[in-house]
Structure 1
Amino acid sequence: MRVASLFSGIGGFELGLSRAGFETVMMCENDPLARSVLLRRFPRIPIRGDVTKIRRLPKCDILTAGWPCQDLSQAGRTAGIEGHRSGLISEVFRILEAASEKPEFVLLENVAFALHLQGGAALKFVTSNLERLGYKWAYRILDSRQFGVPQRRRRVFILGSRNLSPQSILFRGSDNTSSEDTSSPVSFGFYWTEGNTGLGWSPEAVPPLKGGSALSIPSPPAIWKKETRAFITPGISDAERMQGFPANWTAVGPLKKERKRNRWKLIGNAVSVPVVEWIGRCLIEQATVDVKAKPIRQIPKMPTAAFGEQGSEPSFFSFNSEGPDAPTVGSLKDFKLSDASELSLRAAAGFLSRIEKSSLKTHPRFIPDLRDFVS
């Protein structure tokens, strides 16, 4: 099966789908540093720059796009789907509409907060356009941690299909009960750049990796090791592996000499490889499942999963599982950090001053250990 990819980033869609058996025939990425990674990692694949200048879609079976999330993210501007960056999703539909032969599948990804911002306007915009172009659609929130990496990263994946029922593929594993081991965690991830109203508190995992803070500074999460009372931050190659990439995936071309700030940005904006690989394998196998859960009748807010098609009312769901049919939960217990460093005293002191004034809840020993670390 052949893949055409828009907003490729550093190749999360492409690497995941290639591991599932797909062949990428085109990529598009406007960021020159991200494009330098693609050129090194996918040297034989044509790479386009500006998505607005694409006039013809090559023959393909699936079109993928992890379109820009800055206007949809809770940590971003929350301008919504009409924002300058997130509004680029319209280019996907323009390209699809102009295609002489539309691909069977469309796979899209964005932040989970898109379900709630402006009453789910972004999802309604996407699904209505998929219907207009002849696609049935399904969406579901998937958490990267359920796919074997120690990172809590909840993202909404939207799958459109012209002939199949996409929910029977994307909803595989939705009947699972939680497989997370919440007993006796010894490591806790958190955002040291926050502490006023948010924390990203994550037992045995790190919170979602992100490119930078509101001040555009590198912001790797921190990890508190309860047994040793240590406060550390994962290194850049650790972060790559937490996204499912091989270590040093971005250490190529100009990025070998660039400050690591740029590599953090690219990794934080990437799509998690193991999630895409699982979706790809499901598409290859096309082993469908019956959705056993009953739709939600009264919808107080945008649910975490849904499917629909033109001429029918959508069916909405709220699943307990955000993982695959055979989840492997990632844990910091099992993840060997290769280039971690101690959290700087300046960063720790600033975080401590904020969290002591907040009402955020943590482990009872966390703040006392942080005070001792700073003193």
Structure 2
Amino acid sequence: MAGLFAGIGGIETGLRRAAGDQMETVMLCESWTPAQQVLEAHFPDVELQPDVASLSCLPERLDLVAAGFPCTDLSQAGRTAGIRGAQSGLVAHLFDVLRLADQRGDRLPWLLIENVPNMLTLDRGEAMAYLVKELGHLGYRWAYRVVDSRFTGVPQRRRRVLLLASRTEDPRAVLFADDTPGLDESSLRDDAFGFYWTEGRGGLGWARDATPTFKGGSTVGIPSPPAVWLPSSEPGRKIVVPCVEDGEALQGFDRGWTAAADLGRRNGPRWKLVGNAVTVGVAQWVGERILTPGVFDGESIPWIRKGGWPTAAWGDGDAVWKVELTEFPRLEPYTHLLELLDVDNARPLSHRAANGFWSRLQEGNLGRHSGFRADIAEHVEVASTATLPPPPGRE
């Protein structure tokens, strides 16, 4: 396989876990230096190209190309400039190198694309329309599905679109063969709640027994991790921020995965690297199904574009069919948030951050879960009268 827009190798790591020696990564392409440092640490013998815009060709005889292209212009947390934006528009180079591979007679069996669900609705779904149009020109049948990373057992509510395409294989047998009724919310615990402390007016990203989606940026302009409310903890420790190693684990990586990019400061690049990554278990599921396809026998409903796209669909030529599926193809054993979170190494949310969040929270009607607002107010008071000692180690 080759990985374009490789980030820190989430897709490649997941496929490697699924396929073992059957999957060899022969080329990676990534432009950001900190991400390159991580890739060099974990894929030391793999060719690393520095820029997809200058990539002249793909390696020969590939079985799969993965492209988790930038969501910067597509996500609600980003600029929402759309598929023509400076960053998300880089996906055009993917189709350029695929056409070049065609010209030399090297036809690719599988193409895997990953991005945010907002691409289905932004600009009336223009991003997805562009992708499937390009795939149609190349003769691919395609299928896509929105999935929630919690199906892999990690306590992070992270919704992503997986788009799989092939000329010779049926992508529906990979993406649609598995489905469950979804996560049983009654099985979740009430001892930890994740939320965005950078919000307060328009949203909280509220997540019971989980964190909301990790993001590469935030409304305060920095790649900030969510906070976690621990109702039963002592005052001053009820509102904490996970350490970056927790973030790595919540994305399915080994702890310390991004250490090669550590600059030794709190606002270094590691959280942005983690926030932009693909959850490893999601890619692992795709890899397992590519190796052992299932059977899709569900109903397909002809669909004509009138705006945003459905959460699951497939297409062949100019025709598109909608499919009714949940965002939980499987239900791996769930890791409760406090089973994963290193509470002792999680720093309390600072007074400045907590006070700003509390001010925004009081301007709206959000955060009404029993006890939450009282604990935020308490945390602001405690943090204002005492220096909350950081936990051992650094973020």
TM-score w.r.t. the length of structure 1 is: 0.93
Contact 1:217 1:261 in 2 (8 A): no
Q: Secondary structure at the match of 2:69?
A: coil
1:243-278 per-residue CA deviation (whole Å, 9 max, x = no partner) reads 1110011111x5254654311111111111110011
Q: Residue 376 of structure 2 aligns with which residue?
A: 370
- 1:307 maps to 2:309: no
Q: How far, CA to CA, are the matches of 2:223 and 2:307 in structure 1?
A: 37
Change (3 A) 1:77 1:308: same
Structure 1 counterpart of 2:346, from 329, 337, 340:
340
Change (3 A) 1:291 1:225: farther
Contact 2:302 2:320 in 1 (8 A): no
Counterpart of 1:157, as a letter, is L
Q: How far, CA to CA, are the matches of 2:302 and 2:214 in structure 1?
A: 32
Q: Residue 49 of structure 1 aligns with which residue?
A: 50
Q: Residue 115 of structure 1 aligns with which residue?
A: 120
Q: Residue 226 of structure 2 aligns with which residue?
A: 221
Q: Secondary structure at the match of 1:138?
A: strand
1:128-157 per-residue CA deviation (whole Å, 9 max, x = no partner) reads 111111110001001111111111110001
Structure 2 counterpart of 1:203, from 204, 208, 212:
208
Structure 1 counterpart of 2:85, from 83, 86, 91:
83
Change (3 A) 1:79 1:165: same
Contact 1:180 1:329 in 2 (8 A): no
After superposition, residues 1-375 of structure 1 pair within 5 angstroms as: 3-21=1-19, 22-58=23-59, 59-99=61-101, 100=104, 101-174=106-179, 176-182=180-186, 184-228=189-233, 230-252=238-260, 255-257=262-264, 259-286=266-293, 288-295=294-301, 301-311=308-318, 313-319=319-325, 321-337=326-342, 339-375=345-381
Q: CA deviation at 1:345?
A: 2.0
Q: CA deviation at 1:364?
A: 2.0
1:79-118 per-residue CA deviation (whole Å, 9 max, x = no partner) reads 1001011000101100000003121000000111111101
Q: Secondary structure at the match of 2:3?
A: strand
Identity over aligned residues, as a percent?
42
Q: CA deviation at 1:372?
A: 1.7
1:319-353 per-residue CA deviation (whole Å, 9 max, x = no partner) reads 2x212334334431432426311111221111111
Q: Secondary structure at the match of 1:23?
A: coil
Q: How far, CA to CA, are the matches of 2:256 and 2:35 in structure 1?
A: 14
- Structure 1 residues not aligned, in runs of 5+: none
Contact 1:108 1:157 in 2 (8 A): yes
Q: How far, CA to CA, are the matches of 1:185 and 1:295 in structure 2?
A: 39
Q: Secondary structure at the match of 2:214?
A: coil
Q: How far, CA to CA, are the matches of 1:93 and 1:213 in structure 2?
A: 30
1:5-41 per-residue CA deviation (whole Å, 9 max, x = no partner) reads 1000011111111111211010000101110111111
Q: How far, CA to CA, are the matches of 1:348 and 1:297 in structure 2?
A: 46
Q: How far, CA to CA, are the matches of 1:159 and 1:119 in structure 2?
A: 21
Contact 1:204 1:332 in 2 (8 A): yes
Q: How far, CA to CA, are the matches of 1:282 and 1:166 in structure 2?
A: 10
Q: Relative to structure 2, which stretch is displaced further, 266-275 or 332-341?
A: 332-341
- Structure 2 residues not aligned, in runs of 5+: 382-395
Contact 1:278 1:324 in 2 (8 A): no
Counterpart of 1:43, as a letter, is P
Number of aligned residue pairs: 368
Q: CA deviation at 1:190?
A: 0.3
Q: How far, CA to CA, are the matches of 1:318 and 1:195 in structure 2?
A: 33
Q: How far, CA to CA, are the matches of 2:242 and 2:266 in structure 1?
A: 16
Q: CA deviation at 1:300?
A: 6.9
Contact 2:249 2:340 in 1 (8 A): no
TM-score w.r.t. the length of structure 2 is: 0.89
Q: Secondary structure at the match of 1:24?
A: coil
